[in-house]
Amino acid sequence: MTDEPILYSFRRCPYAMRARLAILTSGIHVQLREIVLRDKAPEFLETSPSGTVPCLKVGGKVIDESLHIMAWALAQNDPEAWMQMPTEGYELMSQCDGPFKHSLDRTKYGTRYPDDSTSQHRELASAFIRQLNDQLSPNLFGDKIKLADMAILPFVRQFAHIDQAWFYAQPWPKVIAWLDAFKASDAFNEIMPKYTKWHTGDTPVYFP
């Protein structure tokens, strides 16, 4: 057993990405256990109530929601003052995790939702992107990155990657600049190295 924080993660999952971003900026070190979603480790399933990543185990506590992991990490240390943002930031995060993600999934995984219109959901998701474009200056709340930026950007990236040629042809230049700056950032590069699948008994891998 270990008292070190353990983060069950999956590299490409946007929920896990934003958890890693908050842990990175906080300066906390965790054991990182890479989970393969189609072949989940039994110990992970015993730990996570929902069977989803990210999942943080710290002491006897399990934190099973990505925004709660972000809040936990930033409560320990918030050197970039991500948590100091207007309440509108939480409203944007709620829209991202609710209606936007709903339509993003039906755009990206259209075959899973045969009763839904992919084109209609792409337009619904695009309305949120246009709202972000109107908000950005150059980040959501001015010059400084805040919690909402880092909570939402991984999902904007996921939407953009459905059809990058289409996304980059749309009239939302501020969103494109915001996303490109994120993808070129040291923080993004530090959260995206590839890890091998974790197995019980493996030598610990630490992040960051």
Q: Where in the chain is the domain with CATH 3.40.30.10?
A: 6-80+189-207
User: What's CA 126's distance to the chain center, in Å?
Assistant: 19
CATH for the 88-185 domain, from 1.20.1050.10, 2.60.40.10, 3.40.50.2000, 2.170.120.40: 1.20.1050.10
Residues 114-140, mean pLDDT to the nearest whole number: 97
For residue 36, what are its two tokens? 């393969």
Burial class (CB in 10 A: 0-12, 13-18, 19+), 115: exposed
Backbone angles phi, psi at 43, to 5 degrees: -65, -35
Residues 122-132, mean pLDDT to the nearest whole number: 98
For residue 135, what are its two tokens? 């908000």
CB 56 within 8 A of CB 69: yes
CA R_g for the chain: 17
May I ask the CATH class of domain 6-80+189-207? alpha beta
Confidence band, pLDDT 50/70/90 cuts, at residue 38:
confident
Residues 116-125, mean pLDDT to the nearest whole number: 96
Q: What is residue 2's predicted lDDT score, i.e. its pLDDT? A: 59
Strands 61-63, 6-9: pairing is: unpaired
Question: For a pLDDT cut of 90, what percent of the chain falls above it?
Answer: 87
Q: What is the pTM of this model?
A: 0.94
Nearest to 103, CA basis, from 151, 156, 55, 46: 156
Strand stretches in 17-144, DSSP E: 30-34, 55-58, 61-63
Confidence band, pLDDT 50/70/90 cuts, at residue 48:
confident
Q: Where in the chain is the domain with CATH 1.20.1050.10?
A: 88-185
